[in-house]
Amino acid sequence: MTQTSRSPRRILITGGAGFIASNLVYHWAEKYPGDRLIVLDALTYAGNRKTLEPLDANSNFRFVQGNICDRPLIESLLREEAIDTVAHLAAESHVDRSILGPGAFVQTNIVGTFTLLDAFRQYWDGAGKPDHFRFLHVSTDEVYGSLNPEDPAFSETTPYAPNSPYSASKAGSDHLARAYFHTYGMPTLITNCSNNYGPFHFPEKLIPLMCINILMGRSLPVYGDGQNVRDWLYVGDHCRALDAVIHQGTPGETYNIGGNNEVKNIDLVHQLCDLMAELAPSLPTPPQSLITFVKDRPGHDRRYAINATKIKTELGWEPAETLETGLRKTVQWYLDNTAWWQPLLSAEYQDYYQQVYASRLVQAG
Ligand code: NAD
Ligand code: TYD
């Protein structure tokens, strides 16, 4: 859809201070400057208000600190801002944290998504069910479970088989979004995307963790035998896909989004070591020597892979970045933005790191 043929939207992006949604906020503000853009974010450990500060001078942008479980707040925001589009990305998102404390995942991912869906339903109903309203629920490929090496990639009809408290809570929220379309006719859309990487990624996830540990001369903890496979997608490509789904997607439909970049964890870590050795001016320790095999994550899914044929054929989306170009951009971003990630290595983060890694480091593979 071209910009000249579209009416301005009034979009609520939840979780906008987090990784993917902050990239979506920048994508949206740049591409659709005439749209009203509201971010709702609770600023948990994963939310960073500073990420969005450059937008504060933009009169079409508003940041609201608040919880998606707070129904009165959501109801008043929807009405006050006359929202017609919700892009719902707020979530507890890290598998290792879901193993340590699953309760927050059930609360935010299931109860929070229900609260948003139900408040939007009431509001959309009261507004006369306008045709152009949309509720995009952003989810993950992890709801489909784990693949064997010879299995075909996940498609939109693959049965759900979540294995971690994180993926189980996301599966629950997907089912609610689906039910709101089938039961009430509410214009929900669901996307299930593979692993993202890129700017503003919180240090606990594999790619930023490895980049930062290399810079600090800290060991690079590879879980298990390092043979687990993930299908990596550059976050900017994900944002373009979400844009396409909001504008061209059919309500009630699910779209799988993936990078067609299946890589074993150990190979990815080697690639990151090589890029760092090439791009970083001086490193305390040769990166490859920091690789350490550690005790595996409980219930660790072996392989994820996405079949993205539907979004390609129906909406014309495909990734622009290869893994090589995307990783290069990402490594350079972490080198250039120390001031963004350094403050995130807080006492709380060190505490988390201890909890997850201290016991794992006893086993080398
Ligand atoms: P993130 O953890 O970086 O950010 C989540 C954001 O949500 C944070 O800003 C946090 O403050 C906010 N938040 C958490 N609980 C909240 C609550 N109760 N109320 C309001 N805000 C709250 O997450 P991410 O990696 O950017 O993931 C965004 C979405 O995309 C999630 O729904 C996730 O399941 C999905 N997803 C992520 C990936 C990935 O590789 N990161 C891949 C596919 C799908
Ligand atoms: P992660 O970034 O946590 O994403 P997800 O678990 O949602 O796929 O992890 C990506 C892969 O990297 C996953 O197979 C687990 C592995 N991993 C490590 O080997 N070491 C680490 O320190 C982390 C954080 C992840």
- Rounded to the nearest whole angstrom, what is the distance from the C-alpha of residue 206 to the centroid of ligand 2? 5
- Rounded to the nearest whole angstrom, what is the distance from the C-alpha of residue 109 to the centroid of ligand 1? 9
* Residue ranges lining ligand 1, Cβ < 6 Å: 14-15, 17-21, 41-44, 46-47, 67-69, 89-93, 108, 112, 138-140, 170, 193, 195-196, 202
Please compute, for residue 120, the number of CA atoms within 13 A of its CA located in the half-sphere on the CB side.
Answer: 32
Please compute, for residue 14, the number of CA atoms within 13 A of its CA located in the half-sphere on the CB side.
Answer: 32
Residue with the smallest CA separation from ligand 2 atom 14 is 228
pLDDT, one tens digit per residue, over 304-345 is: 999 999 999 999 999 999 999 999 999 999 999 999 999 999
What pLDDT does 299 receive? Answer: 96
- Rounded to the nearest whole angstrom, what is the distance from the C-alpha of residue 220 to the centroid of ligand 2? 12
Q: Indicate which ligand has the atom closest to the C-alpha of 19.
A: 1
- Rounded to the nearest whole angstrom, what is the distance from the C-alpha of residue 322 to the centroid of ligand 2? 20
Task: Give the C-alpha separation, 173 to 89, whole Å.
Answer: 11
Q: Indicate which ligand has the atom closest to the C-alpha of 232.
A: 1
55 lines ligand 2 (CB under 6 A): no
- Rounded to the nearest whole angstrom, what is the distance from the C-alpha of residue 205 to the centroid of ligand 2? 6
What pLDDT does 220 receive? Answer: 98
Q: Which of 169, 230, 291, 323 to mutate to test the pocket of ligand 2 (most atoms within 8 A of CB)?
A: 230
265 lines ligand 2 (CB under 6 A): yes
Q: Which residues are catalytic?
A: 141-142, 166
Please compute, for residue 222, the number of CA atoms within 13 A of its CA located in the half-sphere on the CB side.
Answer: 22
Residue with the smallest CA separation from ligand 2 atom 25 is 206
190 lines ligand 2 (CB under 6 A): no
How far are the Cα atoms of 44, 72, 111 from residue 115, in angstroms, in the given order? 18, 10, 6
pTM of this structure: 0.98
What is the number of the ligand 1 atom nearest to the C-alpha of 107?
18
- Rounded to the nearest whole angstrom, what is the distance from the C-alpha of residue 38 to the centroid of ligand 2? 31
Torsion angle in degrees (nearest 10) through CA of 174, 177, 181, 184: 140
97 lines ligand 2 (CB under 6 A): no
Q: Which of 155, 8, 158, 176 is nearest to 88 (CA)?
A: 176
Residue with the smallest CA separation from ligand 1 atom 29 is 89
Task: Give the C-alpha separation, 266 to 227, whole Å.
Answer: 6
317, with CB counted inside 10 A (0-12, 13-18, 19+), is buried
8 A C-beta contact, residue 23 and residue 239: yes
Q: Which of 200, 209, 336 is nearest to 268 (CA)?
A: 209
What pLDDT does 281 receive? Answer: 85
Which stretches of the chain score pLDDT less than 70?
1-4, 362-365
* Structural domains of the chain ordered from first start: 8-201+232-263+304-322 (3.40.50.720)
What is the number of the ligand 2 atom nearest to the C-alpha of 164?
6
Written as six digits, the tokens of 241 are: 């896909």
